[in-house]
Amino acid sequence: MIDQVVSVAKTYLPRLNEKRLREAYLFAKNAHEGQMRKDGSDYIIHPMSAALILTGLKVDEDTLIATILHDVPEDTTATLEEIGEKFGAKVRFLVDGITKLSKVHYRDDMEGRHVESLKKFFIHSAKDPRIILIKLADRLHNMRTIDAVNPEKRMRIARETMEIFVPIANLLGIWELKNQLEDLCFKVLWPNEFKEINDLVQETTYQKMGVLNETIHKTGSLLKKAGINYISIEGREKNLYSIYKKMLRRKKSFSEIYDIIGIRIIVKNVEQCYQTLGILHQNFTPKMGRLKDYIAIPKNNGYKSIHTTVFGLKGVVSEFQIRTEDMHIENEYGIAAHHFYKDDKKVHLKKKLQKKYQWVKSILDLQRDIKDSKKFLARLKLDVFEDRIFVFTPKGDVIDLPKGSTVIDFAYHVHSDLGMIATGAIINGKRCVISTKLESGDTVSVESSEESDGPQISWLSFAKTHLARTHIREFLKEKNRTSVLADATSILDEKIKLLGLGGLASINDLQKLSALKFFNIESWEDVLYKLGDGTIDVADLIHALFTKEDLIGFESAPADIKAYETSMLHKKTDLMNPEKIHKISITIDSRNRIGLLRDLCDELVGLGINIVSVQTLPHVDAQIHRLHFVLEILDITQYENAMYKLRSVNGVLNITRVQNDS
């Protein structure tokens, strides 16, 4: 088998180091010694078959060697280090990439979004497109030999291939591998439909064979007569799955879809492309509206070719594709072509690679694209994707995050509740702190505790995703709000008690409502919050909550006396203050000392407060002197000043407002 790989590789790699390739073969053969494939064949058949597949894509020497060695680190005792020593850093890098990719697991119950992430992860982890090529060849050979595995596993592998590998091959424009993979999956997943279409194609091809060969022959002689030395003229096979899908999608019968022959002509230069087109149109009647010049105007994905459909021999509709060899390689091998065939033209390559993502993105416009991968690409947005990492949960779900994301981002993306109580993580089996940066391929198990204090301000310095940052900020705001509210509540409560009004608990809904109206605020909690953060002054809130009567308190006096008082007081205070004067009662407890009463009275007089009466009351504690004052107070400010002054008098222990005269 190695002889076959060597001989094909030599046809396109003139400087092939045959010895090195053979060494790789022997190394892999020894490493896999005694291992069998499910079908009973020697294991070495598998990597060699994959390598042979890739010679068809004209891959370079390192890629062939890496393909031959691709299962060595995973399945044998030989290590990556040995491979590096023997075959160099580049081969080691490729084999390492393959080994990592093989850890990407697909589960049967995966939701759609996980499949999407997995595709992204797949491409992302393969930093070098050659790694994907090896993986695709590996899978293609596994699919070809899938009959050997049990039916359940067969279905799983076929579904995985259809959902992940086919779209990736399609995305990268490697049609050759894509079509083969797709038909192999088709056969496993929908065996009846596959058989039906396969039989029809075999029949039709058989019927058309004569016409196809005649047309190829005729075209060849027409070109030769015109002096065009073409490179090849070949019939094109359509892949069965695409026929099946067209039948489903367009609700057409098989014959309506598969009624034409396809021929591809490869010539030496662009000039010959147009000459060939002219010759075809001179000899066959072209079908209206079917001439497409993708050389003059390439498709957005870079696809170049001339397409024309004519009524060919025996009236069979024949579709021709005309292109140069360069165009053909690019069209057929997509990203692989960019990687391998332009290697000698370094500047050219660089430009191509720069255009790569633009090019991949524009696959969206590709007419022959399957619908699923369109969706895939639309979401993929490679420019964004480049900056992302893909991390696994212990269950194997993929979480994709921006580059630089940390454990805390991961935790919030798994579940917001998990973010709230995260305390650390185990990354690839090692215990780490929540600020640890993650890398693609990490398996992360978040450690959490219900007892955790929750998000801290410091978290914002390493939380990268919008989602995590939003949750953390919300939490901090909420936490801050809670403490602000607690402060406000105690301030207000104290203040109300100071006024002798029984504290916050005594406020009824009506009072709260009047405060809401006063400040034009929606909720009582917001009022408290604004009090707490200083937007609302406590005095204003007190005013809004209580009427002046509440604050100062009327002495309950007979109506006539009250009326008399009111009129008298009005008269008395008209000049300075039109407001009512209120009588209030207070008791002052203090340590007895000489001059206490005088000091208290001095303070009151100093504030212009009239003392209506003073009385000494008994107290259980003989050391304490209790005085009962009845005062005339103008307003709340005067009252507060009085309380402040009286409290500061030496010996005063406590002052209480008495609601009712006692």
User: Can you give the binding site for Mn ion, defined by CB under 5 A?
Assistant: 71, 138
Q: Greatest CA separation found in the chain? A: 138
If the CB atoms of residues 142 and 406 are measured against Mn ion, the closer one turns out to be 142
Residue type, 323: R
Rounded distance, CA 646 to CA 662, Å?
A: 21
If the CB atoms of residues 37 and 437 are measured against Mn ion, the closer one turns out to be 37
Residue 459: Cβ-neighbour burial (10 angstroms; 0-12, 13-18, 19+) = buried
Q: Please report how close the Cβ of residue 76 comes to Mn ion at its closest, in angstroms.
A: 12
Rounded distance, CA 382 to CA 312, Å?
A: 43
Determine the angle formed by the axes of helices 509-519 and 524-532, rounding to 10 degrees: 60
Which residue, 190, 37, 165, 170, is CA-closest to 104? Answer: 165
If the CB atoms of residues 22 and 37 are measured against Mn ion, the closer one turns out to be 37
What are the b/e assignments for 367-383, b being 16+ CB within 10 Å? eebbeebbebbeebebe
Q: Please report how close the Cβ of residue 251 comes to Mn ion at its closest, in angstroms.
A: 40
If the CB atoms of residues 43 and 376 are measured against Mn ion, the closer one turns out to be 43
Q: Please report how close the Cβ of residue 479 comes to Mn ion at its closest, in angstroms.
A: 53
DSSP string, 218-232: HHHHHHHHTT---SE
Catalytic residues: 74-75
If the CB atoms of residues 138 and 400 are measured against Mn ion, the closer one turns out to be 138
Q: Please report how close the Cβ of residue 88 comes to Mn ion at its closest, in angstroms.
A: 21
The helix or strand, by DSSP H or E, that contains position 307, with its residue range, turns out to be strand 306-311
Give the Å distances, CA to CA, from 387 to 126, 268, 351. 14, 41, 21
Give the Å distances, CA to CA, from 3 to 19, 21, 22, 137. 11, 10, 9, 19
If the CB atoms of residues 169 and 197 are measured against Mn ion, the closer one turns out to be 169
If the CB atoms of residues 138 and 163 are measured against Mn ion, the closer one turns out to be 138
Residue type, 195: K
If the CB atoms of residues 44 and 306 are measured against Mn ion, the closer one turns out to be 44
Residue type, 171: L
Residue 655: DSSP 8-state = E
Q: Please report how close the Cβ of residue 138 comes to Mn ion at its closest, in angstroms.
A: 4
Which residue, 551, 535, 539, is CA-closest to 492? Answer: 539
- Measured in whole angstroms, the distance separating CA 538 from the mean position of its chain's CA atoms is 47
Q: Please report how close the Cβ of residue 82 comes to Mn ion at its closest, in angstroms.
A: 18
Which residue, 181, 151, 143, is CA-closest to 165? Answer: 181
Rounded distance, CA 507 to CA 348, Å?
A: 81
Residue type, 501: L
Rounded distance, CA 434 to CA 430, Å?
A: 12
Count how many residues are written for the chain.
Answer: 662
307 — phi, psi (to 5°)?
-115, 135
If the CB atoms of residues 116 and 138 are measured against Mn ion, the closer one turns out to be 138
Tokens standing for residue 217: 């022959």
- Measured in whole angstroms, the distance separating CA 362 from the mean position of its chain's CA atoms is 22
CB 301 within 8 A of CB 244: no
Rounded distance, CA 129 to CA 427, Å?
A: 27
Rounded distance, CA 122 to CA 137, Å?
A: 15
If the CB atoms of residues 104 and 265 are measured against Mn ion, the closer one turns out to be 104
Q: Which segments of 422-518 are extended strands (E)?
A: 422-427, 430-432, 444-448
The residue whose Cβ lies closest to Mn ion is: 138
Q: Please report how close the Cβ of residue 98 comes to Mn ion at its closest, in angstroms.
A: 8
Residue 65: Cβ-neighbour burial (10 angstroms; 0-12, 13-18, 19+) = buried
Q: Please report how close the Cβ of residue 408 comes to Mn ion at its closest, in angstroms.
A: 37
Q: Please report how close the Cβ of residue 157 comes to Mn ion at its closest, in angstroms.
A: 12
If the CB atoms of residues 37 and 570 are measured against Mn ion, the closer one turns out to be 37
Q: Please report how close the Cβ of residue 40 comes to Mn ion at its closest, in angstroms.
A: 17
Q: Which residues pair with 583 in a beta bridge?
A: 632
Q: Please report how close the Cβ of residue 93 comes to Mn ion at its closest, in angstroms.
A: 18
The helix or strand, by DSSP H or E, that contains position 653, with its residue range, turns out to be strand 652-658
